[in-house]
Structure 1
């Protein structure tokens, strides 16, 4: 069962809370599929009347900001020991090369690394803890973190939601067009068959008269 089908089976309020929770946990430094859950929920909202995309985007934004802030505190307290432990547990996400590249980017870009890190899977997980371990000034971190969370969560939700609405309308239009084409083809085939049958029937009496003359 896909994430989208799984989300469809639970109440709307649970979907909102689940999106916010998964995004928050991912943002504080735990490798979870936050973006996949957000995209699936937004796409589901485009065809599910019970889901409101504003709540999905709002809870995802809150989860991103809160999660990154918690991750910042964890990184500030744990520092290098935290990343050494995470590298052993999650080498695909927190390996030495990942940490080194992220550190260089943060030291070079500062607030911009926090902001744009929200749009990159590995940096989205590392942003909070890494900013804390590098002792980035928290107000600067919070501004970049909040703006990145709003643009990423809100923008992703809006984009996927409206793409889903347009796709659904297009598919409905395609279905009606296909039905119209099928009807036209059916009418044309019926007319052609009737004409052929009308041409064949008059020939039968002539054939019968010829048989009488021969007899």
Structure 2
């Protein structure tokens, strides 16, 4: 289980969330597996996977974004804006990104590519991994078979919330892109962490 969770956190499209729920449900219904082991494996896999994803993003991400980004509308100004957002709000992005399936696969890579400070990333990643993996495992274990009845509506609810949050963030960035880019450029003059060097 820990390996699948780790690989998903590194960016591979795997069903880590479903695996955590299934493992915890197996513990609750059969008592043949320790819930403590499931929690430790899931949390450790989540934290380790994101750290590996961060390192990959840090080593290769910026170069790839600079090379191929313009083909997808990622101009140098937008790249600077991304770094600015990760520097100012990266902790929240990393923590809450853990709970959104698509973002969960890419947030560590993006944090590394945008050179988010590692100590900030590590803290929010560990807290997010603990709450996400531990929360799903403990919640499923305590609810037992009831989780199967709740998972559909709850999943739909989370999906709707994720779409609203991502859509709202996209609209906010689109409407405020020029102002935020100007802020980022002023900040880059004062802060070396925002300067993009290949």
TM-score range, shorter chain: 0.5 to 0.7
Q: Structure 2 residue aligned with 1:77, among 50, 55, 59? A: 59
Residues 118-142 of structure 1 show CA distances to partners (whole Å, capped at 9, x for unaligned) of: 1110111011111000000000000
Indicate which of 121, 142, 146 corresponds to 2:101.
121
Query: Residues of 2 paired with 1:118 and 1:27: CA distance?
Result: 9
Higher relative contact order (CA 8 A, sep 6+): 2
- Report deviation, 1:165: 6.3
- The number of equivalent residue pairs is 138
Q: Could you tell me how far apart the structure 1 residues matched to 2:129 and 2:122 are?
A: 10
Matched, 1:61 2:43: yes
Q: TM-score scaled to structure 1, two decimals?
A: 0.57
Unaligned runs of 5+ in 2: 148-198
Contact 1:75–1:82 (CA<8 Å) still a contact in 2? no
Contact 1:105–1:113 (8 Å) recurs in 2: no
SS in 2 for 1:110: helix
Q: Which runs of 4 or more aligned residues in structure 1 lie more than 2 Å from their structure 2 counterparts after TM superposition?
A: 80-85, 103-109
- Report SS of the residue matched to 1:51: coil
In 1: Cα distance, 2:66 partner to 2:54 partner: 16
CA distance in 2, matches of 1:84, 1:40: 40
User: Which of 1 and 2 has greater Rg?
Assistant: 1
Q: Output the CA distance in 2 between the equivalents of 1:49 and 1:55.
A: 12
TM-score of the aligned structures, taking structure 2 as reference length: 0.62
